[in-house]
């Protein structure tokens, strides 16, 4: 065991007003390390049909995310010489936030998105989207139809997958022989180093190192050609994966992969010692955040929060921060407005509520895009509003 967060609601299951009086399901949320394979994982698997068939997270509401993927799409169009004869597929394609940039360049695209409500939005934006879960079976079907991909994107989805081997076999079937899979996953070292405990929720089954991923892909005839560390989501790995018989290709990418594998061995990726103490540090952060907020309340200050995100649900519930401390939460996503945060039942309003109510402080629950939020809320800031960043340590801006 690395960290136990106790019984938690499903982080993205925001409630309607009618649901507030109904019993709310809670599930154990425990993070563990496997000394046999070095994977860090939670111990409870909620059926994906429960978590993902109706989803309230829409990637297009984050300017940070849009800039991140636009730059990547532009880069790959050039480096892979993509054109009208190519095919780019995204697994867990959400609302078409990434594929739109290929489509604008005239590159054929296909999204795979199990959340039917989100897939409909993508279709309305002109992104062909299959409302299905991705796996080996679907990959074989598409391949038999002749829909093999020159590029596959899988961003922040591998952590959601229970059958990792089946998913990776699916990538191999769907890729052309010269194709490339671009995969992004939150990096376990950043989670531990930066005390990012609130990225632990029931959707995230696994927390990856390059060591674990290297072995996983090699088992299925795929090679990690290159790896980059990117800041998105508090720190992620971006993998460039090709069919390669279990060996990454020669060149600069190989040196980068080898260097990070050696670095992981040095900091103890396969030793439980590295992960010990994480729970204690989370408890210390919990105390620091609560003390800061209670001190503000005792001084007569009013506090609200920004970001009805999954990480916000976890932080508020585990830290015991509810209506006695916060007045409300605001979020830019209209699909979340008018609902309530699971567990603590704080109401979610549009950001315009900030200027109407003018709380003196704003707890930034979506701390991974804090810079975007502070810039977006310039009017609130100019009127004296301050921002509290809770992770990895309490800071007031």
In a domain, 10, yes or no: no
Question: Which strands form 303-306's sheet, in the order they lie side by side?
Answer: 348-349, 329-330, 303-306, 361-364, 386-389, 395-396
Asked if pLDDT for residue 246 goes beyond 50, the answer is no
Q: Within this chain, do residues 141 and 219 fall inside the same structural domain, yes or no?
A: yes
Instruction: Encode pLDDT of 20-63 as tens digits.
Output: 999 999 999 999 999 999 999 999 999 988 888 787 778 888 88
Based on the structure, what is the number of domains in the chain?
Answer: 2
Residue 8 in any domain: the answer is no
**Domain C-terminal end among 251, 272, 293:** 272
Tens-digit pLDDT profile for residues 351-379: 999 999 999 999 999 999 999 999 999 99
| In contact, 270 and 260? CB cutoff 8 Å | no
What's the pLDDT score for residue 249? 44
pLDDT digits (tens, 9 = 90+) for 142-176: 999 999 999 999 999 999 999 999 999 999 999 99
Per 3-state DSSP, the chain is made up of helix, strand and coil in percentages (nearest 5) of 40, 20, 40
CATH code of the domain containing 187: 3.40.50.150
Of 243, 272, 301, which one is at a domain's C-terminal end? 272
Q: Is there a single domain that holds both residue 121 and residue 243? A: yes
Residue linked to tokens 């190519």: 86
Q: Tell me the C-alpha distance between 380 and 337, whole Å.
A: 19
CB 33 within 8 A of CB 200: no
Question: 75 near 153, Cβ under 8 Å?
Answer: no
Local confidence band at 383 (pLDDT 50, 70, 90 cut-offs)? very high
Structural domain including 184 reads 34-272
Residues 354 and 265 in one domain: no
Do 122 and 238 lie in a common domain? Answer: yes
Q: What CATH number is associated with residue 349?
A: 3.40.50.720
């Amino acid at each position: 065991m690395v960290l136990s967060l106790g019984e938690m609601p499903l982080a993205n299951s925001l409630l309607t007003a009618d649901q507030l009086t109904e019993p709310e399901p809670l599930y154990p949320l425990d993070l563990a390390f496997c000394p046999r394979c070095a994977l860090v994982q939670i111990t409870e698997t909620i059926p994906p049909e429960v978590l993902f068939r109706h989803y309230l997270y829409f990637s297009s509401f984050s300017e940070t995310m849009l800039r991140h993927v636009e730059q990547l799409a532009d880069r790959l169009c050039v480096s892979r010489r993509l054109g009208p004869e190519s095919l780019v597929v995204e697994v867990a394609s959400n609302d078409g936030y990434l594929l739109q940039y290929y489509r604008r360049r005239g590159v054929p695209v296909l999204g795979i998105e199990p959340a039917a409500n989100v897939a409909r939005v993508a279709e309305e934006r002109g992104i062909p989207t299959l409302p299905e879960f991705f796996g080996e079976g679907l990959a074989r079907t598409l391949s038999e139809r002749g829909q093999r991909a020159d590029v596959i994107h899988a961003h922040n989805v591998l952590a959601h997958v229970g059958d990792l081997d089946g998913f990776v076999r699916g990538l191999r079937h769907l890729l052309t022989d010269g194709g490339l899979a671009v995969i992004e996953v939150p990096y376990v070292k950043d989670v531990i180093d930066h005390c990012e405990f609130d990225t632990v929720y029931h959707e995230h089954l696994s927390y990856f190192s390059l060591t674990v991923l290297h072995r996983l892909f090699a088992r299925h005839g795929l090679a990690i050609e290159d790896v980059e560390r990117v800041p998105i989501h508090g720190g992620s790995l971006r993998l460039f994966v090709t069919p390669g018989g279990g060996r990454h290709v020669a060149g600069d990418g190989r040196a980068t992969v080898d260097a990070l594998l050696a670095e992981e061995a040095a900091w103890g990726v396969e030793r439980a010692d590295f992960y010990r103490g994480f729970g204690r540090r989370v408890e210390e952060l919990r105390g620091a955040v609560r003390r800061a907020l209670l001190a503000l309340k005792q001084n007569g200050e009013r506090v609200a929060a920004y970001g009805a995100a999954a990480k916000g649900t976890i932080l508020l519930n585990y830290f015991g921060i509810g209506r006695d401390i916060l007045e409300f939460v605001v979020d830019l996503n209209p699909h979340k407005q008018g609902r309530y945060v699971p567990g603590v039942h704080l109401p979610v309003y549009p950001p315009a509520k900030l200027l109407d109510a003018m709380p003196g402080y704003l707890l930034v629950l979506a701390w991974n895009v804090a810079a975007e939020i502070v810039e977006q809320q310039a009017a609130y800031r100019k009127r004296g509003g301050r921002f509290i960043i809770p992770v990895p340590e309490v800071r007031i801006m």
